Structure 1
Amino acid sequence: MVTTAPTAPAGGTANAGAVAPAPSAKARTRKVKDNLSGYGFLIGAIACFALFMWYPMIRGFVMSFQRTRRGETTWVGWDNYVRILDDPSFWVAWKNTFTFTCLALVVGFVVPFFVALLLNEFRHAKGYLRVLVYLPVMLPPASALYLFKYYAYDPSEAGLFNAILAFFNAPTSEWMQSPTMTIPAMVLASTWMNMGGAVLIYLASLQNIPGELYEAAELDGAGLWKRIWHVTIPQTRLILALLAMMQIVATMQLFIEPLILANGAGTQDSATSVAYLIYQHGFFQNDLNGAAALGVIMLGVLAVFSAFYLRLTTRNEQ
């Protein structure tokens, strides 16, 4: 019986099981160099984070359990925390900070969204209007706040806001000298100063919403507010949630507004914030350990809120 050798099928698959040639030495050298460059940039970034962010955080946490007097450091455990919690200014500062945060969410979070909705409807001068809205962000924060302090919030009728109130025969206000108006005035200045970035983010999100959704809503007889509620907000909910978290974290660290507008504490401690209290303990009372304890407490509060936010958003996505 004659046997014949199997023939290779068409298409050249006879060499399908052949081993691929090993990469050349030059290719291996190039790959190693590319990896080294990537790891070099990564190590540099990690070193910067470790030196300027992680080490100060760890050092502050350790200092909160210590007391330093005349160059001698001793371990005191929870004494700094007990001393801070017994300080009446601690609770006043948290009350002011939470009040500012809540008002900033009502004003500083809602206003940029509706400004973005308004700008999105314009057909002409879009670039000019966006620059106009973003312009306050380009100003140094200190310069913008000094403009408010000496031009807008002047307690006499020479101030911009009091001149407007006097024009309409409305009672004027002392603004930053009034304990009841201090926090609303800071919220107004902070909103004007920071809303440009949020407006541009909202505009980018609004322009990604398919027009067919609005057309379908109009065919169903939905008016303007119903289209916003049933189309715009659901389509931008992730951006809204992200910016809400960033807004809360930023406003909880309120510092520069009371420092410039209210000269720190304000009238009857009406502007004292937790961040300003940390600054006061560290640089005015020379109590770095108490300031570290305050910083750890603030870090803990923000960490709890961030964990709750992440859990809530993860559950909604599922």
Structure 2
Amino acid sequence: MKPVSSKPSPAITPRGATAGPAGGPRARRGGGLRRLRDNAIAYGFLAAGIVCFGVFSWYPIVRGVLLGFQQVTFAQPAQWVGLDNFRRLFDDPLFITAWQNTGYFTLLALVFGFAAPFATAVVLNELRHGRAYLRMAVYLPVMLPPIVTMLLWRWFYDPGSGLLNNALQLFQLPPQQWLESEHLSMVSLVIVSTWANMGTTTLIYLAALGGIAGELYEAAQLDGASVWRRLWHVTLPQMRFILMVTLLLQVLGTMQVFIEPYVLTGGGPDDATVTVLLLLYRYAFINNDFGMASAMSTLLFVVLGLFAAVYLRLTRGKG
């Protein structure tokens, strides 16, 4: 009788298979090649995005800043002039007027355009029926092309047969020169801008209101808090971060107002609605002075950048 050997019998492997421990050199080599291929594909997509962003975003910014230090016209090649464009800007009497008008527009837009979307969102959030249709109605102006919106409001403001003056006549009130009056023209532009752009902000506020826990309102109601106290002590604190972000975005957007004064008033009457971007447009495409226009855009970029930095610094940790 043969003694039983204690030596384990060799493993039987199928024909064509290579015996070897799991995770051996060949397996590790295959995994490394696979990771390298995946990383190469990922970095390829990332590089394409960076190239597109650099070509279509950063390059125009850098080129625009450089043009601010050059004399650029169609008639002659660009010439380096240093700070001459900025000196001519400060000597232009319309330069200060444009900044004052832009600041006035931004202030009025904060009074009307910042409060109106929030109030609309609060009202829509309290409704129980027809909210979807009303949300669509509020957002509808955003979907209209800007030029269509401007032409529609030009008819509203028409001093002869305009809708607003006809409404005033129903109440035995005198008609107004909405776009021809130095005192009413800027307010009229702010109303148009608020109506055309408040839809997006309203939807943002509605989304933020939907994220507030209902238990907070129930607790405040049990404590006997009125609607205004619930708004002040529950809604506003819970939406503080959203309100700060939308305030920053609104200031940055209204400081770049262009299409409203360009289409509705052309900067008049008596330059009462000339804004920074409208003056920049005149420098570039009417006076054919792209150096001045680029210098103006550089100053606007610096002012908005400083404002954003200071605002974020002051509001850090308050959200």
TM-score by length of 2: 0.89
SS of residue paired to 1:155? coil
Task: Using the TM superposition, give the Cα deviation of residue 33 of structure 1 relative to its aligned residue in structure 2, in angstroms.
Answer: 2.9
Q: Residue 202 of structure 1 aligns to which amino acid in structure 2?
A: Y
Q: Secondary structure at the match of 2:94?
A: helix
Aligned to 1:277: 279
Distance 2:36 2:119 in 1: 52
* Larger deviation, residues 25-34 vs 160-169: 25-34
Residue in 2 aligned with 1:104? Answer: 109
CA distance in structure 2 between the aligned counterparts of 1:308 and 1:20, rounded to whole angstroms: 55
- How far apart, in 2, do the equivalents of 1:290 and 1:298 lie? 12
The answer to whether residue 77 in structure 2 is matched with residue 75 in structure 1 is: no
Query: Which consecutive residues of structure 2, in runs of 5 or more, have no partner in the other structure?
Result: 1-21
1-structure distance, mates of 2:143, 2:269:
30
Measured in 2, the distance between the counterparts of 1:72 and 1:121 equals 62
For 2:269, the equivalent position in structure 1 comes to 267
Residue of structure 1 equivalent to 2:306:
304
Q: Which residue in 2 is equivalent to 1:59?
A: 63
Deviation at 1:220, TM superposition (A): 2.1
Question: Could you list the per-position Cα deviations for residues 55-84 of structure 1 after superposition, in whole angstroms to 9, with x for gaps in the alignment?
Answer: 111111111112236424332221110100
Q: Deviations over 1:199-252 (max 9, x none)?
A: 111000001101111111122221111111111011001111111111010100
Distance 2:190 2:311 in 1: 23
Task: Give the drift of 1:315.
Answer: 4.0
Of 31-40 and 187-196, more deviation after overlay is shown by: 31-40
Instruction: Spell out the pairing of 1:202-221 with structure 2 (5 A cutoff).
Output: 202-221=205-224
Q: Cα distance, 1:198 vs. partner?
A: 0.6
Distance across 2 between alignment mates of 1:55 and 1:143: 32
1:122 positional shift: 0.9
Conserved 8 A contact 2:65-2:294: yes
Map 1:90-129 onto structure 2 (within 5 A): 90-129=95-134
- In the TM superposition, 1:180-195 aligns within 5 A as 180-195=183-198
CA distance in 2, matches of 1:146, 1:68: 34
CA displacement at 1:106 relative to structure 2: 0.8
CA offset at residue 30 of structure 1?
3.3
Alignment partner of 1:293 out of 292, 295, 298: 295
Relative distance call for 1:35 and 1:230 in structure 2 (3 A) is same
Q: How is 1:8-87 mapped onto 2 (pairs within 5 angstroms)?
A: 24-68=28-72, 70-87=75-92
Correspondence for 1:135 = 140
Amino acid paired to 1:49: F
Distance 1:258 1:87 in 2: 20
Deviation at 1:24, TM superposition (A): 4.2
Structure 1 residue 164: Cα displacement: 1.1
Q: CA deviation at 1:169?
A: 1.1
Gaps of 5+ in 1: 1-18
Report the alpha carbon displacement of residue 36 of structure 1 after superposing the two structures with TM: 2.2
1:153 corresponds in structure 2 to 157
Alpha-carbon distance in structure 2 between the residues aligned to 1:171 and 1:60: 48
SS in 2 for 1:171: coil
Identical positions, percent: 46
Q: Distance in 2 between matches of 1:105 and 1:233?
A: 17
Q: What is the CA–CA distance in structure 1 between the aligned matches of 2:300 and 2:233, rounded to whole Å? A: 37
The one-letter code of the counterpart of 1:101 is T
Instruction: For residue 25 of structure 1, report the CA deviation from its aligned partner.
Output: 4.3
How far has the Cα of 1:265 moved from its partner? 1.4
The aligned residue for residue 255 of structure 1 is 258
Moved more, 45-54 or 105-114: 45-54
SS state of the match for residue 177, structure 1? coil
